[in-house]
Structure formats: C-alpha cells, structure tokens
Structure 1
Amino acid sequence: MAQSDSSSAPSAPLAASAGTSIDDPATPEAYLAYLRHLRRLSEHTVIGYAQDLQELQKFAAAQSGSPSLAQLNFQHIRRLTSQLHGQGLNPRSIARKLSSWRGFYRWLAEMHGLDTNPVEGIRAPKKSKPLPKALSIDDAVRLVAQSSGETSAEPALRADRAMFELLYSSGLRISELVGLDLLPVRESGYESGGWVDLEQNEVHVTGKGNKQRIVPVGRHAMAALRDWLAVRGSLVKADPHPLFLSARGSRISARLVQLRLKAHALSLDIPANVHPHMLRHSFASHVLQSSGDLRAVQEMLGHSSVSATQVYTALDFQHLAKVYDQTHPRAKK
C-alpha cells in the first residue's frame, strides 16, 4: 500500500504541467506542484516561491500589453530588479527572488520548451559592505590600560596587557601579533616574520602577501612590553623565539588571544563584542580622526590599495556627525 502511494505522488505535478500551456495562467501552480511533489521542498520554501511568482505576475500585468510570464524578456526582469532596488529591498532578498524566477524559467524550458531564460545573466545589486566596528576612544583606552582586577604581576596578565596595547597601538592583525619573535631570527629552515625593536620603538611585521612593514609603537605599549619581558623568561621552554607565550611555554595562539580579550572586555563592562580586529579598526579610525592622513594610515595598516583604507573615512564622518549633533546649537531638535 505504501508503495502505491509513493509511486503515485510524483504524478500530480506531471499531470498539472501536461494540462497547461506555456502561457496558461495555471502554469505557475504546476511549477509549485513540481516543487512540492518532485523536489519535495518544504511548504515554507514553496510558499516563498509562490510569493515571488505572484510578484512577477503582478509586474507582468502592469506592463504594456500585459505579457504572460513566458513572454517577459531580459529587459523586463532587469527593470523589475531595478524597481525592487529603488524601493529599498536589500540585495540579499533581490538575489533570492532572482534565484526563484531563474528556477521557474528553467522549468519552463524543460517542460514547455521555452527558448530563453530572461533571468540568466541578471545579478542582484552588490551587497553593501558593513562598516568596520570600532570602539570609542574612551573604551579603547580603558580596555588596554586597565587590568581585570587581578594582580598584574601574573605573567599571563602582563602578556595580555602587552598584547592588547600592541594591537591598539600599532594596528596589527592578530596573525601578525602572534607571529612576532623576541628578536629577528634567520637560521636554517626558519626566519622571523616579525619582531619588536625596543630601541627604535617600532614593530616589524610581515602581513598579507608577505608584505613587510614597520609601524611605530606607542609609549604605553612599550612600557607594557618591557613589563611582560621581565617575566617572559620564566615561561620559555623548547622554543625560545616567540615573543608571546602561553602558560605551557609555546607560541600563543590567535584563538587564545581572542578569548582573553573578550573576557577582559566583559570584565570591564564594555558592551561591544570585542575581538582583536576591532582594535585594529579602532587604531585606524582614531589615527584618521586625529591626523586626517589617509596615506599614513594605509601604510601603517599594510593595505596595498588606499581604497581598502577609505572605509575608515566613513567612520571618521560618523564621528564628526555625532560631534556636530551633540554640540552645534542649530543641530539640536
């Protein structure tokens, strides 16, 4: 009995499609039946496809001559896509609708011999990249300057303070930070990717694409580094090269730094979801706010193109707009 049920289930969409023509208003219903019974998509998903097809039908009905769905062409679909974008629909939703329509027209080609798919070659507008999240200057300083209430004499806490200060002071990537060595090393089979020059107050790093750069290190970060170096020797074991060590004496991992930084931020009641790259964003944003020198920030971040750095000008404008709203007498509502 169960076998006859399963064998008869696929016949519904086939019968529906067989009884409809390419221009028949019932054709979308036949396609939805195909999705339900042959593709076995969830009802929630099929409802989404139905809504997308209804929107396409409504658009077709409003066009000159009221073309059927099969008569819509590339220009029609492109016009509808532009309309949706102009109405403020986000690119992700537009891409989903295009995917729904593209599938429908592929089915029409297979079942009814449609010559061309009017959705092929049409892409949704590019998704706008979210602005990088940066801490306020007060929160950034509080994060790197304050301890969590425990004794700062503990080696791990000294290491944390030095790492957090260095991330914010020089805008390092987390991979660059954990890759730092105590001194520059070049020996058989190993060469340092980065190190801190304590005499020149600068850090040498190798970033993306093996691009090397030298970045200044601030006074507070240098003090935190020297404080860490005073106890680092007690943790050194097999590998003498890494600047920052775990409790086991091995090179500290990026994941451990992430966890320590997040826990430290929570202990200080800093509301943001703080991660190492946020300190890099904060470094770039705060230096740009103070100096306005985009090229200098580009070099310190190690960006190969200034366009990658220009995103921080939007953060700078947000800061200026906030200051304006708070201080200008004619800005207050």
Structure 2
Amino acid sequence: MPDAVALAPQLQAYLQHVASERRLAPRTVAIYTEGLQQLQAMAAQAGHEVLALQPPQIRRFVAALHAKGRHGRSIALWLSCWRGFFKWAAWQGWVERNPVEGIRAPKTSKPLPKALGVDAAVQLAAFVNAAADPWEEARDAAMTELLYSSGLRVSELANLDVQAGSGLGWLDLQAGLVHVTGKGGKRRSVPVGAPAKAALQRWLALRASRFGVQWAEPALFVGARGARITPQMVWLRLRQRSQQAGLPVAVHPHVLRHSFASHVLQSSGDLRAVQELLGHANISTTQIYTRLDFQHLAQAYEQAHPRARKKP
C-alpha cells in the first residue's frame, strides 16, 4: 500500500460518484480508494499522469503487483476499480478510451473452502451453554443447528420469517422445510434435520416471551429488542459460540455451509443433489467440494494405510 497522499481531483470525484450515486457499501468504497491510491502511486513512479495511462502501462502495473506477491484476486478487484474509473472518465470526456479494457489479472488457483470435520461440526451443533440467558441460548442453538442442517447462507437465515408471507423466506416446521431466496432471486426448498427441528421448536416456544401482545415482527430470528437479526449479529454469535464450545478455530456461518456440503457429499456422493441443496446455478461451483472430499480421503489414507508413509 503506497503512502497515503491526496488523490487527484478526478479520482476523488469518482469515489464520490460510487459512494453517493451508485451507493456502494463503505467497505467497497474503501477498497476502491486503496486501488486508486495504488494506481496514482504507480503512475507517478512511472512518470505519467493517471488520465494519460495506456494499456502497456496498465499491463506493467499488473505484472509488477504480481511479482511483489499480490494475490490474483486482489489484482482483479483493483482492475475492476480502475476499469470502472476510466469508463466513467470517458463519459466525462476526460479520456478517449479505457486503457484497462481487456486486461485481466493473473490466474490463481481457487482456495479450498474451509469446513469442519464431522466430529467438530457435531460438537458445535450439540453444544449447550448452561450459563447463558435461556432465550438467547435457544435462539443461538436454533441458528447453529439450522445453518449446519440446511447449508443456508447467512443472509438466507436472517431473511427467514416464521410463516409464508411477502418475505424472502420462511420456515415450514410441519413439513420440515425452509423455503429461501438465494442469489439471483433463485428460490429453493431445503430439508430441516430432526435435531434442527427440535431446536427450532424450543426457540419458537420462547421467541415471543420478551415482547408485548402488540409485537408482530415476522422474522424467525430476532434480537433482544425484537427486530430482525442482522447477518453481522449471526456472525458474532456463532463466533462466540464456537469458542465457548471449545473448537480450536472461530467458526463463521459460511464454514457451516461448507461443512454441510462436504459432509453430505462424503456420505452420498451425489454432486447434483448437493448443487440443488446449496442453490448453485452452475455445478462447477459445487465441484470444489469434490476436491475437499478428496483431501479428506487422502488424509484418511495417510493415517490408515500401512504403506502410505515410510516408517521411522
């Protein structure tokens, strides 16, 4: 990261545009700021003005970042930022062409998703915090069980309602299903396992006990003030719960989604079924779990086969 310097007025204007008109999230604006600072610093080092850059200079910048060990995904994110800036600059009449168009980041291998082992996942799902507030404990246990039982995204969990309505998802406890709206507005129905169903029943019995008779919040999971729980709160509660359960790593919701997919695939071998359960539009997205499954088998082989390793 270059030293923090004042950005050129055109770069500042673009950041204001993406923040106020495109309404990008503050975190995204911060990433764009870092990317534009990097672009300005490299342009200055090469003796160029940012608006005078051409494709050869952009390619050299990408090569230099890659040589310094910058991850391909970070470079791709910055290229997207630069591409957006020059496209907007062309609309303003500041440049004639977009020098970033057609330039791609170096390819990098996709990291394997982080998943818990079966024993660790069951340990977390079965954990009971006897010292916690019973209302919060029932809610957190139900959220944990449902994330692992059904492989939901954290946004899908937070958007669940108690019953069908105009929301993005709902719980059908009698049928043992959750109906959710995933990425791209794609709807799917996912089974709820028996332990998760029991945890949800305990939560529903306590859910309304803190609020008056006029309380009519449709959300399945709510905070202490009675409003729908946020994805950020789910992350925090699950992280705390995994530490309290004695797991060696802090767990976030997507780890349980990965664990769900990996464990179902290990047991069934049915990649298409896992694709449907996860709501992946393309099976290539699901195929990464076959690599995770193979890694699991390879570890089992290393530990069990008498000729897998040389004896000391």
Q: TM-score normalised to the size of structure 2? A: 0.66
Match of 2:137 in 1: 157
1:121 Cα deviation (Å)?
Answer: 7.2
Change (3 A) 1:302 1:239: same
State the shift of 1:129 in Å. 1.7
Q: Percent identity?
A: 55
Other-structure match for 1:274: 251
Structure index of larger Rg: 1
- Report the counterpart of residue 146 of structure 2 in structure 1: 166
Counterparts of 1:318 and 1:142, CA distance in 2? 22
The superposition leaves residues 138-159 of structure 1 with CA deviations (integer Å, 9 ceiling, x where unpaired) of: 11111111123425x7111100
Deviations 1:229-257 (A, max 9, x none): 11112134644311111111111111111
Q: For residues 281 and 90 of structure 1, what CA distance do their matches in structure 2 show?
A: 28
Distance 1:124 1:201, change over 3 A: closer
Q: Distance in 1 between matches of 2:102 and 2:221?
A: 51
Given that 1:91 and 1:126 are in contact with CA atoms closer than 8 Å, whether structure 2 keeps it comes out as no
Match of 2:183 in 1: 208
| Equivalenced residues, count | 230
What's the offset of the Cα at 1:90? 6.2
- C-alpha displacement of 1:268: 2.1
Gaps of 5+ in 1: 1-31, 40-73, 97-119, 186-190
Report the equivalent of 2:115: 134
Structure 1 residue 249 corresponds to structure 2 residue 229: no
Structure 2 counterpart of 1:25: none
Seen in structure 2, the aligned counterparts of structure 1 residues 212 and 271 have a Cα distance that, compared at 3 Å, is: same
Per the TM alignment, residue 316 of structure 1 is displaced from its structure 2 partner at its CA by: 0.2
- Cα 1:240–1:227 change in 2 (3 A) is same
Q: Distance in 1 between matches of 2:262 and 2:111?
A: 15
Alignment of 1:17-56 (within 5 A): 35=45
Letter in 2 for 1:252: I
Q: Secondary structure at the match of 2:201?
A: helix
- 1:196 maps to which residue? 171
Instruction: Give 1:329's match in structure 2, choosing from 285, 306, 310.
Output: 306
Equivalent in 157, 160, 166 of residue 177 of structure 1: 157
Q: Which runs of 5+ in 2 are unaligned?
A: 1-41, 49-55, 76-100
**How much does 1:122 deviate?**
7.1
Q: Deviations over 1:244-298 (max 9, x none)?
A: 1111111111111111110111112212231011100000011001111000000
Alpha-carbon distance in structure 2 between the residues aligned to 1:248 and 1:230? 17
Contact 2:145 2:199 in 1 (8 A): yes
* Distance in 1, Cα, partners of 2:194 & 2:102: 55
Matched, 1:307 2:284: yes
Sort the Cα spacing of 1:328 and 1:206 in 2 relative to 1 into closer, same or farther, 3 A: same
Shift of 1:89: 9.5
**Matched residue of 2:302: which SS?**
helix
Change (3 A) 1:35 1:242: closer
What letter is aligned with 1:314? R
TM-score by length of 1: 0.62
Counterpart CA distance in 2 for 1:167 and 1:321 is: 27
Match of 1:145 in 2: 126
Cα distance change, pair 124–233 in 1 and its aligned pair in 2 (3 A): closer
Distance 1:129 1:215 in 2: 27
CA distance in 2, matches of 1:138, 1:224: 19
CA contact (8 A) 2:147 2:256 kept: yes
Alpha carbons of structure 1 residues 290 and 124: separation in structure 2 relative to 1, 3 Å = same
Superposed, 1:273-292 pairs within 5 Å as 273-292=250-269
The RMSD of aligned alpha carbons is 3.1
**8 Å contact kept, 1:195–1:204:** yes
CA contact (8 A) 2:150 2:192 kept: yes
Query: Contact 1:91/1:125 (CA < 8 Å) preserved in 2?
Result: no
Distance in 1, Cα, partners of 2:293 & 2:121: 16
After superposition, the Cα gap between the structure-2 partners of 1:184 and 1:125, relative to the gap in structure 1 and judged at 3 Å, is same
What does the per-residue CA deviation read over 1:185-204, in whole Å, with 9 as the maximum and x for residues that have no partner?
1xxxxx12111111111111
Match of 1:230 in 2: 205
* AA of the residue aligned to 1:251: R
Q: Is the 8 A contact 1:162 1:225 kept in 2?
A: yes
Q: Which amino acid aligns with 1:200?
A: A
- Residue 71 of structure 1 corresponds to which residue in structure 2? none
Distance across 2 between alignment mates of 1:138 and 1:241: 34
> Aligned partner of 1:261: which letter?
L
Residue type of the alignment partner of 2:131:
E
Tell me which amino acid in the other structure corresponds to 1:287.
V
